Amino acid sequence: MSLRILCAGDSFITADDLADQCRQQLAEFGPLELITHVSRWPDEPMGDVDGVREAAGDPAEIAVLAADVDVIVTHLAPITAAVFESAGKLRVVGSTRGGPVNIDIAAATEAGVPVAFLPGRNLSAAAEFAVGLMIAVTRNIGAGSRGLADGRWEGKYYRYALTGPEIGHCAVGLIGYGAIGAHVTRLLLAFGAKVLVYDPYTDASKIDSAGARSVALDELLATADIVSLHARLTPETTGMADATFFAAMKPGSFFINNARGELVRTDDLTAALTSGHLAGAGLDVFDPEPPPADHPLLAMPRVVATPHLAGASQHVAHHSAETVVGQVALFLRTGTIAHCANPSALPVASV
């Protein structure tokens, strides 16, 4: 019997790459019948549909394609309750995402279908991007590029008051020491930066042994030349970067966020930049996304703003496809999954 697989990709993690990985890693399970689907993301935005979030594609179309498949591997396709109802033979779903919000996990569990996902899939890319934002905003890369694009050769950025610090001579404060925060620390230490970390959920000795220094939030804000957010979004951290937070930051310091837009009170950040209390900001995430085109934050010369690009690298795309198909192979071989969104759907014994 053949193994029927739906490979649902887009212009980032492609259906062809998913299919190629299936050919390489799943051939041992018999003849493969590969069905491909390509959404129009990122040229068309993702959205919320039929109980799932951040999805790209028509769930009705996916449900038709999923009929009689054994495996679904996907990036953004909406794997809704209707899809699970249609896919009566479905054994496993592989999601290339760090959080499979485009998959109805409750429906998957009810159908007895485990969902593999990839936490930390883009941690290296996101960490590099954070450091890139630090350099871009402190050294006028964004402002200088915009000036040239508008036909201006702006030597003014050699004025002492407009120059910025070198990373290697900065104290950089990181809020959050998860996988990305830890990798940012390693990169910054290679520059020679002094790294301060606030994370009440991580043992201070772990931070200190990595070459950084664990500090209280008030010390970090008052001391750091650059403050970068790497906290998880929770009810506790939502809006944590507010007017009080920015007022406590060192005058003339810089703010970086490529974690979650909801961590920041955008109007409070705008006010802190407008007043001159903060020297600049590097932002890859917003609340809402996209931000209004006429938002004053986007027009500020010392703000580098990008459209949620931190995870967009060729390595992330290819490695995600390779890894998620590897997880499907592991499940078909042993009945286990390294990272399963619904462990109760896993078989009790290996298959």
DSSP 3-state of 68: coil
User: Residue 8: which of 92, 70, 91, 94 has the closest Cα?
Assistant: 94
Annotated active-site residue in 23, 232, 289, 333: 289
| Contact criterion met (CB below 8 Å) for 127 and 177 | no
* Length of the chain in terms of residues written: 351
The DSSP line for 286-321 is -SSSSPPTT-GGGG-TTEEE-SS-TT--HHHHHHHH
219 is catalytic: no
* Structure tokens, 31: 């003849």
Which is the catalytic residue, given 91, 260, 265, 339? Answer: 260
Q: Determine how many CB atoms are found less than 10 A away from the CB of residue 333.
A: 13
Q: Identify whether the C-beta of residue 79 lies closer than 8 Å to the C-beta of residue 60.
A: no
Alpha-carbon gap, residue 286 to 288, rounded angstroms: 5
Catalytic residue list contains 166: no
Gap between the Cα atoms of 150 and 173, Å rounded: 34
Rounded Cα distance between 278 and 319, Å, is 38
Cα 173 to chain centroid distance, Å, stands at 20
Closest CA to 9 of 323, 335, 342, 320: 320
Which DSSP state fits 272? H
Give the chain's count of helices (H) and strands (E). Answer: 12, 14
Annotated active-site positions, please? 260, 289, 308
